Amino acid sequence: MSKLLYKPFSIASSVAGGVAAGIVFKQVWKRLSGEEEAPHPTSRDYGWGEVLAAAALQGAIFAVVKAAIDRGGAAGVRRFTGGWPD
């Protein structure tokens, strides 16, 4: 039962988490680099270091947000149903 309840919540929260992570990344990148947009991997205006640093930062932020949302959702289902969704 808890797994059945968790699945739709998980999908919806993942979409919202992706949007939130994108917003967080843009703000962090703006503060770190002073630029509005992160470099695109194919842009000639940036070197390897800048492109890879931006990608690593973006990946880390997305991973942390996803883990936090997944963990929070599972804990919420446990509180509601009494069972941990596996």
* Cβ within 8 Å of residue 41, ≥6 positions away: 51, 55
Which residue did the predictor score with more confidence, 25 or 85?
A: 25
Q: Assess if residue 23 is contained within a domain.
A: yes
Q: Assess if residue 86 is contained within a domain.
A: no
Q: Assess if residue 31 is contained within a domain.
A: yes
Our count of domains for the chain comes to: 1
Range of the domain at 64: 2-81
Q: Assess if residue 13 is contained within a domain.
A: yes
On whether the CB atoms of residues 2 and 83 are closer than 8 A, the answer is yes
62: number of Cβ within 10 Å: 17
Q: Assess if residue 51 is contained within a domain.
A: yes
pTM of the model: 0.80
Structure confidence at residue 58 as a pLDDT band (50, 70, 90):
very high
Whole-Å CA distances, 76 to 2, 13, 29, 73:
10, 12, 31, 5
Judge whether residue 86 has pLDDT over 80: no
- pLDDT tens digits, residue range 48-57? 999 999 999 9
